[in-house]
Amino acid sequence: MDEAVSKYEVTGRDLARGRNLKIAAWTAPILIPAVPAVLFTVLALVLGTTPPLAFTLFVVGMILAGIGMVIGLSLMTFFIYRRSAWTQEMREKMAADGIRAEEIDWFRHELKSSEKRALKDISRADLLLADAYRETLASRLTATRIVKSSRKELALTQRRRSKLKQFRSERAAEFGAQLEKDSEKIGSIHEEAKQMLAEAEARLQMIEAAAARGRGMADSELALKKLSTRSENLPLALEEMRRTEEIAREIERDLEKSERPDAGPSIEAPDEPA
């Protein structure tokens, strides 16, 4: 089959269909009961010339609004189911020829919690590594789907072979040989998908380790720069502290000298004349 025919592209029409189903699911339980409620409230205000008539119109509007609520919730359930079926159909179409990196968001529910966290962290740290991680995630998802589908096909083929043994037919041997070929082919696909899955998981671990090393090296470089800056400023701080202590000691010596009494001989005053 031609690659251009087999490769499915999500069109604007597909996205519009999903968007319309989502809008219909959320607006149905609001609009349907709101229409009779508003309509009969207005009629009660305009045509309700007497209190009994106005009350009757109001009650009829509330009853119709309640019925509309039930209908709206039923339609909401229907549209949610239709959108879920549409989403599953889109996923199957995209996965038929292999999941691509730009389609990862459609299969986010199939990702492991650790893969979601790693993708978020790597996307913030390094865009190139994030692109490689997305590509590898797409390969991992594709391989996982092939492994599951091939395992189911192998089980179905085994059941067909078991049922074929119960029938006595002239062409039973021919059918058995055909089933044997199908089983060998599916088994080969299954083993190849398992190898691809193992390689993808190993590559994911390598990318996560590379991202962790990058963050660790960046943090180490930043710590070393801070330590180097502190080491450069440390002698200046020590010299400043030493000068401050010297100044403090000089001030203390000056204060001690100023407060010390004069040690010279005292001079007696002369006697006054009689």
Please spell the DSSP secondary structure of 214-259, one letter per residue.
Answer: HHHHHHHHHHHHHHHHHHHHHHHHHHHHHHHHHHHHHHHHHHHHHH
User: pLDDT at position 4, please?
Assistant: 40
User: pLDDT at position 235, please?
Assistant: 53
The residues, any chain, with a CB within 8 Å of residue 163's CB and separated by 6 or more, are none
User: pLDDT at position 23, please?
Assistant: 92
Asked if residue 4 is part of any domain, the answer here is no
User: pLDDT at position 38, please?
Assistant: 84
How far apart CA 264 and CA 248 sit, in angstroms, is 29
Asked if residue 271 is part of any domain, the answer here is no
The answer to whether 196 touches 139, Cβ cutoff 8 Å, is yes
The structural domain count of the chain equals 2
User: pLDDT at position 81, please?
Assistant: 94
Name residue 52's amino acid: P
Exposure class string for 194-226: b at 16+ Cβ within 10 A, else e: bebbeebbebbeebbeebeeeeeeeeeeeeeee
Asked if residue 258 is part of any domain, the answer here is no
Asked if residue 19 is part of any domain, the answer here is yes
Q: Looking at the structure, do residues 54 and 173 belong to the same domain, yes or no?
A: no
Q: Looking at the structure, do residues 88 and 192 belong to the same domain, yes or no?
A: no
How far apart CA 28 and CA 74 sit, in angstroms, is 9
Name residue 234's amino acid: L
User: pLDDT at position 46, please?
Assistant: 76
User: pLDDT at position 268, please?
Assistant: 45
Asked if residue 257 is part of any domain, the answer here is no
User: pLDDT at position 274, please?
Assistant: 39
Domain containing 158: what range?
98-250
Torsion angles phi and psi, residue 270, rounded to 5 = -70, 150
Q: Which of 65, 97, 129 is the last residue of a domain?
A: 97
User: pLDDT at position 73, please?
Assistant: 92
Name residue 46's amino acid: V
Q: Looking at the structure, do residues 115 and 135 belong to the same domain, yes or no?
A: yes
Model pTM score: 0.63
Torsion angles phi and psi, residue 263, rounded to 5 = -85, 0
User: pLDDT at position 271, please?
Assistant: 47
How far apart CA 13 and CA 6 sit, in angstroms, is 19
Burial zone of 154 (CB within 10 Å; 0-12 exposed, 13-18 middle, 19+ buried)? middle
pLDDT < 70 stretches in the chain? 1-8, 48-49, 167-172, 214-274
Q: Looking at the structure, do residues 244 and 210 belong to the same domain, yes or no?
A: yes
Q: Looking at the structure, do residues 107 and 24 belong to the same domain, yes or no?
A: no
User: pLDDT at position 210, please?
Assistant: 81
User: pLDDT at position 244, please?
Assistant: 65
How far apart CA 144 and CA 206 sit, in angstroms, is 19
User: pLDDT at position 265, please?
Assistant: 47
Q: Looking at the structure, do residues 68 and 199 belong to the same domain, yes or no?
A: no
Q: Which of 42, 76, 97 is the last residue of a domain?
A: 97
How far apart CA 133 and CA 79 sit, in angstroms, is 35
Asked if residue 77 is part of any domain, the answer here is yes
Q: Looking at the structure, do residues 240 and 132 belong to the same domain, yes or no?
A: yes
Q: Which of 70, 97, 124 is the last residue of a domain?
A: 97
Supply 48's token pair: 């309700």
